[in-house]
Amino acid sequence: MPKCFFVSDLHLFANRSNAHRYLEQIAQSASRVEAFVLGGDIFDFRWARIPTLRAVESAARWLDDLTSRCNKCRFHLVLGNHDYHQVLIDRLTRLEKQIPNLSWHRYYVRLGNSVFLHGDVAERRMDARMLAEARQQWLDRRRRGPFLSKMYDVVVLTRLHKPVPHLVFSKRIVVRRIMKYLESIEQGPRNGVRHVYFGHTHKKLLNYRYRGLTFHNGGAGIKGIKFRIIEAKC
Ligand SMILES: [Mn+2]
């Protein structure tokens, strides 16, 4: 029986998201385990079809429903870049006080021998300070207008974007950068970490071993991209 599940990159509110298909499965999985980690870009305020305030309210309602329906499960919401918005952060600060089985984390959470993080540290070599600086730019980022959002959909739906992440994010480069970051915050193999769960690259990766760590990525809830709920050790 698994004890913990992990998902990331649902990109809820974005046109290109198809994550509504997985929400019921997520709730059912959560009702069977002790812990569930939501690993960032769960919500996408950058490409949202609706204004930020409405999207944040809708996000809060979804979290409230999920956590009360699965009240024996502890939920950890780790933020990604697309949901690192000041309005959500303010809302989460209040929500965390009202919901006993919800915690949120800006950058990562450690459970047992596992670390869960979004994975945007893989964009380039980063330490904690550089990640904080990169994230800072997302705090009050404006939503892209409907026109740009449509253009983006055209690009995504015709899969023109697909080769790019593959070129940019080679497995080894990704895991090496994540490992360097983890070492810089003392959450590497020397600190007892064995498993790393991450998202952001939208590329499924199962049990990929690199220098004492095993990496896992469940893909993304986006049209044309593979997605799965990952069983995690914690
Ligand atoms: Mn991301």
pLDDT at residue 2, rounded to an integer: 80
How much distance in Å is there from the Cα of 44 to the middle of ligand 1? 9
Average pLDDT rounded to a whole number, residues 63-67: 98
Assess contact for 78 and 40: CB atoms under 8 A: yes
Is pLDDT larger for residue 168 or for residue 87? 87
Tell me the sheet residues that pair with 102: 75
pLDDT at residue 151, rounded to an integer: 73
Average pLDDT rounded to a whole number, residues 90-99: 97
Structural element, H or E, at residue 61: helix 52-69
- Distance (Å) of CA 101 to CA 20, 44, 65, 82, 178: 23, 23, 12, 23, 28
How much distance in Å is there from the Cα of 204 to the middle of ligand 1? 14
How much distance in Å is there from the Cα of 123 to the middle of ligand 1? 10
How much distance in Å is there from the Cα of 25 to the middle of ligand 1? 22
Tell me the sheet residues that pair with 4: 35, 232
How much distance in Å is there from the Cα of 165 to the middle of ligand 1? 12
Assess contact for 201 and 174: CB atoms under 8 A: yes
How much distance in Å is there from the Cα of 200 to the middle of ligand 1? 4
Q: What is the pLDDT of residues 161-211, one digit of tens each?
A: 554 455 566 899 999 999 999 999 999 999 999 999 999 999 999 999 999
Assess contact for 201 and 6: CB atoms under 8 A: no
pLDDT at residue 140, rounded to an integer: 87
Average pLDDT rounded to a whole number, residues 63-80: 98
pLDDT at residue 234, rounded to an integer: 87
For the chain, domain boundaries: 4-232
Q: How far is 25 from 23, CA to CA, in rounded Å? A: 5
- For the ranges 18-22, 30-34, 68-72, 137-141, the lowest mean pLDDT is seen at 137-141
Q: What is the pLDDT of residues 119-175, one digit of tens each?
A: 999 999 999 999 999 999 999 888 886 677 777 776 666 665 554 455 566 899 999
How much distance in Å is there from the Cα of 4 to the middle of ligand 1? 22
Q: Which residue has the tokens 């945007």?
A: 120
Q: How far is 139 from 142, CA to CA, in rounded Å? A: 9
Q: How far is 192 from 187, CA to CA, in rounded Å? A: 8
Q: How far is 158 from 177, CA to CA, in rounded Å? A: 30
Please state, rounded to an integer, the average pLDDT across all residues of the chain: 92
Average pLDDT rounded to a whole number, residues 40-54: 94
pLDDT band at 112 (very low <50, low <70, confident <90, very high): very high
Q: How far is 40 from 120, CA to CA, in rounded Å? A: 9
CATH assignment of 4-232?
3.60.21
Is pLDDT larger for residue 155 or for residue 14? 14
How much distance in Å is there from the Cα of 9 to the middle of ligand 1? 7
Q: How far is 213 from 194, CA to CA, in rounded Å? A: 5
Task: Using DSSP, state whether 172 is helix, strand or coil.
Answer: helix
Structural element, H or E, at residue 231: strand 230-232
How much distance in Å is there from the Cα of 74 to the middle of ligand 1? 23
How much distance in Å is there from the Cα of 186 to the middle of ligand 1? 23
How much distance in Å is there from the Cα of 10 to the middle of ligand 1? 10
Residue 182: both structure tokens together? 């983890």
Assess contact for 97 and 59: CB atoms under 8 A: no
Q: How far is 87 from 192, CA to CA, in rounded Å? A: 35
How much distance in Å is there from the Cα of 71 to the middle of ligand 1? 28
Where do the DSSP E strands lie in 88-150?
102-105, 108-111, 114-117
On whether the pTM is more than 0.75, the answer is yes
- Residue 36 predicted with pLDDT over 70: yes
